[in-house]
Amino acid sequence: GAVVSQHPSRVICKSGTSVKIECRSLDFQATTMFWYRQFPKQSLMLMATSNEGSKATYEQGVEKDKFLINHASLTLSTLTVTSAHPEDSSFYICSARGASDTEAFFGQGTRLTVV
């Protein structure tokens, strides 16, 4: 399958700071990127969907000014958690899909801990 690389895998940051998470498709052009959040023992919660060159579409309840998503190229999308707080601590996962693909491929995930 196609490879999606997500970085960093773990990050610890202080409350009030911002954290950027990168998601790269290594061997295909990702026309659509999905960003998920997963709290312990819960399923994936879709935060937003982004198409290359367009503004992201956020799910209800997700603050677009707090979770900034940029999908400026066909191989890179970033999620920036701004002014992070302890309640933002979670497992963030991206997935990417090409124009002709049905399956979306997942990155490795990022464990964010805000202290």
Partner 1 sequence: GQNIDQPTEMTATEGAIVQINCTYQTSGFNGLFWYQQHAGEAPTFLSYNVLDGLEEKGRFSSFLSRSKGYSYLLLKELQMKDSASYLCASMDSNYQLIWGAGTKLIIKP
Shortest Cβ 107–partner 1 spacing (Å): 6
- Contact residues for partner 1 (CB under 8 A)? 1, 6, 32, 34, 42-44, 46, 49, 91, 93, 97, 102-109, 111
Closer residue to partner 1 (CB): 34 or 58: 34
Shortest Cβ 16–partner 1 spacing (Å): 26
Region of 71 please: left (phi>0), alpha (psi -120 to 50) or beta. Answer: beta
CA 55 to chain CA centroid, Å, is 14
DSSP one-letter code for 27: S
Shortest Cβ 3–partner 1 spacing (Å): 12
Strand pairing report for 10-13 and 110-114: parallel
